[in-house]
Amino acid sequence: MQTLDIEGFLGEPIKIIVDSAGHYMYEPRRLDGFVTESVCAHNLAFDLRMIQDAGFNYVEDFHDTMILARLCGREKLALKELTKQDLEKDILNYKEFKAQYSDPTEQEWLDYCGSHARVTKELFDMYHPAVMNHDMERIYDIERNLIPIITEMQRQGVRLDQQRVADLIKEYESKLELATSELKKMGGDFNLNSNQQVAQVLLSRGAELAFTKGGGNYCVDVGALKKLDDEFATRLLDYREYTKLLGTYLYNWAGKESIHASFNQAGTVTGRFSSSKPNMQNIPKSLRGCFVPPKGMYWASCDYNQTELQILAQFSQDKQMLADFASGIDIHMATSINIAGKEDRPLGKTLNFAIVYGLSRWALALKLGVAEIQAGALQKIYFNTYSGIQSWIKETHKQFDRGEELRTVSGRLLFPRDHRTAVNYIIQGSSADACKSAMLAIRRGGYQPVVQVHDELLTPVYNEDAGLEIRDIMERDGMGQFGLNLPVTAKFLERWE
């Protein structure tokens, strides 16, 4: 049975119920006391808040066709797109519906909602058996049991320290004013937000600028400016950074008690989370201190250490990298010592992730700022040093070439496009599995995560012992249940850092 709940033309929740025969009925009343045997929706985490607010007594048997579609390898997850691709039918999305019916009648609402409910049922009947037949019951259970946790994350939001927000606004406005004044002194009367006027100032100062890909305009983006040894370019980068911090974040946060980001568990093809409004992964570290736990509580910040490289080492059973991790030395520092014979952490980090992300010799040369032949020599030394990793990568490439199934540690079926994504998807997807499994275990332990960023989980707790318990849960029930050992770093914080 499918239920869909929206705000109707009377401002009341509309209930659309579709039975197994595809029949639907409409009831513009609150759902107090209503219980159903099974619920299926498309993007249930979004719908669940409205359903709960309408008094719906939620049950444990629930399904989400958006998650099922992702597990089946679909890249575009909008209901309209999936309906067209897999059912060869056309439905109106909400934007199209409102454009066609500016003041919808009861029957028009009914037809619109009913059509969505019916195709959701049809998609479920198609996707669910496919997921079960491909032995993905375990990862599907992980994904769907996350839905109530994600709904609660979005409902709770994260509290903002308005004094910190106000102080930072004052600080960055002062810095922006100074940067503007200095740039005007160096460049004269010009528009700081005009790329072409900025380019003319730089050219007048002797800078060499390349043209954009489309041609005709000079490139003055961040990458181009960082290459210039010019005080004007340096201060322009500062100006743009201050403008972004104020306009994108701080001004939008002023006066708000909390922010409620959207977390999408099917946001990437590998299973990693994405977030929006705002994207929590992109919030600069200089602003993280604005986020504080509920009053009387602290943050337990628990972070898997170098998850992707840990997974790579354990999948490949590379003796050198396993030994480096066991020694406790910073893994990127260890790599630089092993490859270049010197302590150069940035070099080691670039080399490690060049392997994980499958960078070509040319791309690695660009990253390191060296000749292509030198980058190739570093790659050769890397694979001679970490021969187990090279063997695992070669075998993964062969599996891809033979058309064999590639899966994450929890059984998520992957759909890579080439050799590079074949390796990367296994590692990133397994990292996502670890984090999602940990979130379920943390919730079973009586705690509620509120922020997920990369491999870090922020959970409000009352004391440090609770933070250490969460750390142990993540190590034991995250990757531990899959036979992999991923250490977790735990911090006890009064504000995010």
Least confident segment among 108-112, 160-164, 289-293, 434-438? 108-112
Compute the distance between CA of residue 198 and CA of residue 187 in angstroms, rounded to an integer.
Answer: 8
pLDDT confidence band for 36 (50 / 70 / 90):
low
pLDDT of residue 472: 94
Q: Is 128 exposed, middle or buried (0-12, 13-18, 19+ CB in 10 A)?
A: middle
pLDDT above 60: residue 30: no
Residues 17/3, Cβ–Cβ less than 8 Å: yes
Pairing state between β 158-160 and 62-64: unpaired
Can you read off the two tokens belonging to residue 53?
A: 């607010």
Lowest-confidence range among 43-52, 135-144, 332-341, 391-400? 43-52
> Which of the pair, 56 or 256, is modelled with greater confidence?
256
> Quick one: average pLDDT of 461-483?
88
Place 356 in a pLDDT band, splitting at 50, 70 and 90.
Answer: confident
pTM score of the predicted model = 0.86
Contact, 139 vs 430, CB < 8 A?
A: no
pLDDT at 207 over 90: no
Predicted confidence at residue 117, as pLDDT, reads 85
Per DSSP, what are the bridge partners of residue 407?
413
Q: Is the pLDDT of residue 128 over 80?
A: yes
Running DSSP on this structure, what letter comes out for residue 411? -
Q: Cα separation of 100 and 93, whole Å?
A: 11
Is 60 exceeded by the pLDDT of residue 57? no
pLDDT band at 38 (very low <50, low <70, confident <90, very high): low
What is the tens place of the pLDDT at every residue in 261-288?
999 999 899 999 999 999 999 999 999 9
Q: How confident is the model at residue 300 (pLDDT cuts 50, 70, 90)?
A: very high
Q: Note the pLDDT of residue 2.
A: 43
Asked if pLDDT for residue 18 goes beyond 50, the answer is: no
Distance CA 427, CA 431 (A): 6
SS3 sequence, 258-306? EECCEEECCCCCCCCCEEECCCHHHCCHHHHHHEECCCCCEEEEEEECC
Task: Say what the pLDDT of residue 33 is.
Answer: 45
Pairing of strands 2-7, 13-18: antiparallel
Sorting pLDDT into bands at 50, 70 and 90, what band is 14?
Answer: very low
Torsional class of 219: left (φ above 0), alpha (ψ -120 to 50), beta (otherwise)? beta
Top mean-pLDDT range of 104-113, 239-248, 363-372: 239-248
Average pLDDT, rounded, for the chain: 88
